[in-house]
Homo-oligomer: A and B are copies of this chain.
Amino acid sequence: MSDNLLVRRDVSFYLHDWLCISSIAEADTIDAFIDLSEKLAEDRFLTHYKQSDVTEPSLGPSGVHILPEISQALAQYAELGFFSAGFPEDIGGLGLPFLACSVSFAYFAAANIATSAYPMLTVANARLIATFGTPSQIEKFAKPQIAGRWFGTMCLSEPQAGSNLADIRTKAVAEGVDEFGHRFLISGNKMWISGGDQDASENIVHLVLAKIPDTDGKLPEGTKGLSLFIVPKILPEGRRNDVVVAGLNHKMGYRGTANCLLNFGESQGAVGWLIGEPGQGLRQMFVMMNEARVNVGLGAAALGYRSYRLSVDYARDRVQGRKIGCRDEGSVAIIEHPDVKLMLLAQKAYVEGALALCLYSALLVDKGEDEESSALLGLLTPVTKTWSSEFCLAANDLAIQIHGGYGYTRDFSVEQLLRDNRLNAIHEGTTGIQAIDLLGRKLLRDGSALAILRRRVRQTVERAGISEQLSPFSTQLISVWDQLALALSELRSCAAVSAYNNATPFLRAFGHGVVAWLWLDQAAVAVSSSAPGIDEKNFISGKAAACRYFFEYEVPRVSAWLAPIFNRSDLIASISSDVF
């Protein structure tokens, strides 16, 4: 084990010691799958990390050309069955739990997030068709993706419709029925389509949100008028569909992933088949949304995790300066300086905290059939997505700081890791959108999920109670959740509109409350182990130290985020946009 990407002891801690994956799958099978993931990620994904940042996708007359190393890595990924890992065996899958697939994905994301975006989208696409499609749609459009021969995309945004999908104007006109279902001609412009074109797969399956005009030719208003269509790049009959790449976006990071503007139906109309019933498009997308958002959080966690490990390596190697108060002694590695230790602790608390959060949520996906898990997953999803994106970006930023001037050069990877990670707080719903989702849909509308969460917090407090070193944190954790509950009732008493004025600071406070809970839970499991050997002792001390850091340095921030809520600040409501 090289521990270059994720530390294997840490992964086994999450999977076995903490989340007990053996209760839902055979432990040896999972370990073998993780072994294979680690090896492939290192051998084929990590190797072109820098090159895929420099050699961006290009648009030529025959379409988008991507770096050949990306195509080769994905061919290997397909050959080894990774596309199929999480699907049921009856449609060509391996039937592995989502949790195991998530850990596998974290290895590939840590190695090369841009390359791993292609299978991530493909799997989500195929899963949606497998869930809502007809048998012939599954056979024709999902199975080649599960085999990794075709790739998939999600086509939601349009130039005038980003966060607000109600404004979508892509039109789908009925053309009758054929063996794949209700056939439509699609026309419209889609933005930000990751993997919108590439030359790595035999075909591309676009899932397109569009509106079916009424008998007067008018498009229905709002999101309830959205339907979802399967629009392949190459039609089953073998000819090219009317889907044209209008341009490529040139991004800050994530550059290996071709991000396209796609024009559908500029000439004869793009052929597509309706999935399920008309008007169900957004609902169908949203059923997949929890998974997609957990994956975004996981990608962010993986990018942060890698920058943390690179920071530890650099800080152990780089000799600079004396210990404070020891001017006559020799120079030391910078890991001995208090400021560097503090930065490493912050990184560790952020990235291992985020990984814990994402994997906990992944396990809830696996347990999605029981109502409690499903409600809790809904509540945690906006937190998982946002907290990982924001605080693992902070870990990336600290990595540059720890590397000093070197970190600011492209000779090291840490600046690219930050650029790659910056997308995660934007796509699949920005932080502001997640904040409204958490506060409105997940908390104010119905308090039952919060009750489940608080029950689990109490269970953790009980578990931690047996350890003397953790007991002050138990007290702090209870108080944080009391504060959050109080803030929530404060918000409940506001006018409906003004409750949202501080939704984002509330999301941050809530996120810290959730991660504090998971740190205490991790630490309680870690310190209760018997710890033979020095490596294992260090591992346990590391978990305890990060937990302590989180409670001593991070948890006090909760009060600061909640202050404007408790002080009933009407600043946002009172200012005009002319003051800027």
List A residues at the B interface (Cβ < 8 Å). Answer: 157, 160-164, 167, 191-192, 222, 249-253, 312, 315-316, 319-325, 327, 331, 333, 335-342, 344-345, 348, 397, 400-401, 404-405, 407-411, 415, 419, 422-423, 425-427, 430-432, 435-436, 496-497, 500-505, 538, 541-542, 545, 548-549, 552-553, 556-557, 559-560, 563-564, 567, 569, 571-573, 575-580
Contacts and interface: CB of A to CB of B under 8 A. Distances in A.
Interface of A: prevailing SS: helix
Contact of A575 (B167, B502, B541): B541
Given A425-B401, A552-B567, A556-B560, A335 B430 contact: no
B411 A163 contact: no
Contacts of A431: 339, 401
B249 A409 contact: yes
Contacts of A423: 408
Contact of A164 (B321, B545, B552, B573): B321
Contacts of A252: 400, 408-410, 415, 419
Nearest to A400: B422
B426 A405 contact: yes
A569 B552 contact: yes
A500 B559 contact: no
A331 B165 CA distance: 12
A427 B405 contact: yes
A167 B569 contact: no
B572 A563 contact: no
Nearest to A336: B577
Contacts of A563: 552-553, 556
B250 A571 contact: no
A502 B422 CA distance: 28
Given A409-B249, A560-B556, A575-B545, A432 B580 contact: no
B415 A401 contact: no
A497 to B, nearest CB: 4
20 contacts: A191-B405, A222-B327, A249-B405, A249-B409, A251-B408, A251-B409, A252-B409, A315-B577, A337-B432, A338-B500, A341-B572, A341-B575, A400-B422, A404-B426, A404-B430, A505-B553, A538-B578, A545-B575, A553-B569, A557-B557
A497 B250 contact: no
Contacts of A572: 338, 341-342, 345
Given A324-B497, A408-B423, A563-B553, A504 B571 contact: no
A571 B559 contact: no
A563 to B, nearest CB: 4
Contacts of A502: 338, 342
A348 B538 contact: no
Contacts of A577: 315-316, 333, 335-336, 341
Given A331-B164, A432-B337, A538-B579, A422 B405 contact: no
A404 B162 contact: yes
A579 B341 CA distance: 10
Given A160-B319, A315-B580, A345-B572, 19 more contacts: A222-B327, A252-B400, A252-B415, A323-B497, A325-B497, A338-B502, A339-B432, A342-B504, A342-B505, A342-B572, A344-B580, A401-B425, A404-B430, A405-B427, A541-B575, A542-B579, A552-B569, A553-B569, A556-B563
Contact of A405 (B162, B312, B436, B557): B162
Contact of A331 (B167, B503, B552): B167
Contact of A339 (B325, B405, B503): B503
A538 B519 CA distance: 46
Contacts of A333: 577
Contacts of A432: 337, 339-340
Contacts of A425: 401
A167 B164 CA distance: 57
Nearest to A566: B556
Nearest to A337: B432
Nearest to A567: B552
Q: Which residue of A496, A542, A560 has the most chain B CB atoms within 10 A of its CB atom?
A: A560
A410 B251 contact: yes
A424 B547 CA distance: 31
Nearest to A405: B192
